[in-house]
Amino acid sequence: MFFNDRHEERADKQAIELDGQQIPQHIAIIMDGNGRWAKGQNLPRVAGHQRGMEVVKDITKAASDLGVKVLTLYAFSTENWKRPETEVGFLMKLPGKFFDTFVPDLIANNIRVNVIGYVDQLPAYTQKAVKNAIAQTANNTGMVLNFALNYGGRSEIVSGAQELAQQVLNGEIKPEDIDETRFSQALMTASLNKYADPDLLIRTSGEERLSNFLLWQIAYSEFVFVDEHWPDFTSEVLKRAIMIYQSRHRRFGGLAENKSDKK
């Protein structure tokens, strides 16, 4: 069930008929509620993360099948280090477990792995798992599965500003050369090129916060909040979120009346 209660968003929950021409090209997801799901099942919190990892596999395939170009998943934030050591340790081992079992499927589905975040601060074994997966899928030309790992939106913006300041100091650019395009190019999503900004941001588990996720990039994203915990997220929930997205008119601050005027 969705929290949004606008009329068009409550429309027909039975049949989900998506407009194949209006599939969001970049979907970003804040995967929340693993802990609450586990608590509800009388399981330790890490069981929620384990189940969440399996759901990532399903949703990756579902998004790729729908024709999504980039799927960005918030797997570990710069704030998540504050969690108990055992939980952080478990989360750090998840990329290895995930890629060990899932890289063949990624290759079969032509999906390329990318990572944003401060990867060099992760344990060596996590870095290794991530780098191997990136290398093994580097030639794939389909959807980009973009993990945000040790990522924080404010830090990303600060790092980008530092990089631009250095370019000014080096005499490569002048302060007045810094515009939105150049700033975007200094962010971690730069390699996603025209898909750098999410069209649709989904957060699970009923929370309606951004939690320091893609602060620059979500300037014009549509937000959809669903109350399923991430371990209960399914391809049907994904499709409903896309249906809500398609029911909205994105105007990017302009006056365009219909969706064909987008982008």
Which residue ranges make up the site for ligand FPP (CB under 6 A)?
Answer: 31-36, 49, 52-53, 56, 75, 80, 91, 94-95, 98, 147, 230
Based on the residue annotation, tell me whether 32 is a catalytic residue of this protein.
yes
Q: Are the CB atoms for 201 and 214 separated by under 8 Å?
A: yes
Measured at CB, which residue is nearest to ligand FPP? 35
Based on the residue annotation, tell me whether 19 is a catalytic residue of this protein.
no
- Residue 117, CB half-sphere, CA atoms under 13 Å: how many? 27
Distance CA 27, CA 24 (A): 6
Q: Least distance from C-beta 175 to ligand FPP, angstroms?
A: 38
- Which residues, in sequence order, are CB contacts of 167 under 8 Å at separation 6+? 173
- Whichever of 117 and 198 has its CB closer to ligand FPP, that residue is 117
Q: Least distance from C-beta 170 to ligand FPP, angstroms?
A: 36
Orientation of helix 124-136 relative to helix 85-108, angle to 10°: 10
Q: Which of 4, 34, 80, 140 is catalytic?
A: 80
Q: Least distance from C-beta 88 to ligand FPP, angstroms?
A: 10
What SS3 class is residue 139? coil
Distance CA 217, CA 219 (A): 6
- Whichever of 238 and 243 has its CB closer to ligand FPP, that residue is 238
Q: Least distance from C-beta 16 to ligand FPP, angstroms?
A: 23
- Whichever of 160 and 231 has its CB closer to ligand FPP, that residue is 231
H or E stretch covering 225? strand 222-225
Q: Which of 32, 34, 197, 199 is catalytic?
A: 32
Quick one: tokens of 108? 């079969």
- Whichever of 95 and 160 has its CB closer to ligand FPP, that residue is 95
Active site residues per annotation? 32, 80
